[in-house]
Structure 1
Amino acid sequence: MSSINLYSEAEQLEKKLNGACLDTRLALQPSVTKVIDRMRQEGMHIPSRLRQLDAALCEDAMEAQFDNLPV
């Protein structure tokens, strides 16, 4: 996949995530991580906003795993 396509895919995901509910964020988190991984493999520059978005989504996913644990 070309670098232009990866940047375009990342931008589309960012737009979907802008103001999205938690369920949508959790559903799209794996896609964001995959795009960033592909960008790394291609040796592309990953904008800091994408790295921050991925980190926030991963954090949301981790917290969601613990929401259903009994206390």
Structure 2
Amino acid sequence: MSTNMWIRQIHRWLSMAFTVAVIANIVAMIMQVQAVWIGFLALVPLIPLLATGLYLFALPYVGRRDGARQEA
């Protein structure tokens, strides 16, 4: 599997982990649990999710620029 496919798979799994963390945060707020660490739980997958998302966002633009150079 190529590097891009690995990054896509990691991004998908991180998004699922982020969703679970947000749901846990909402449940904790509804139950009025005063655990601050639950609020920070969503930040753990969010930071690498941001990095992989930015990479995947920039991928078509970087590829298009390299293709334009080869044609010229």
Show structure 2 runs of 5+ residues with no match. Answer: 1-5, 29-34, 66-72
Which protein has the larger Cα radius of gyration, Structure 1 or Structure 2?
A: 2
**How many corresponding residue pairs?**
51
Write the distance in 1 (CA, Å) between the matches of 2:19 and 2:42. Answer: 12
The CA RMSD measured in Å over matched residues stands at 2.5
* Change in CA separation of 1:40 and 1:49 when aligned onto 2, cut-off 3 Å: closer
Larger helix share, 1 or 2? 2
- Match of residue 53 from structure 1: 45
Q: Which amino acid aligns with 1:25?
A: I
State the identity %.
6
Q: TM-score, normalised by structure 1?
A: 0.51
Show structure 1 runs of 5+ residues with no match. Answer: 1-20
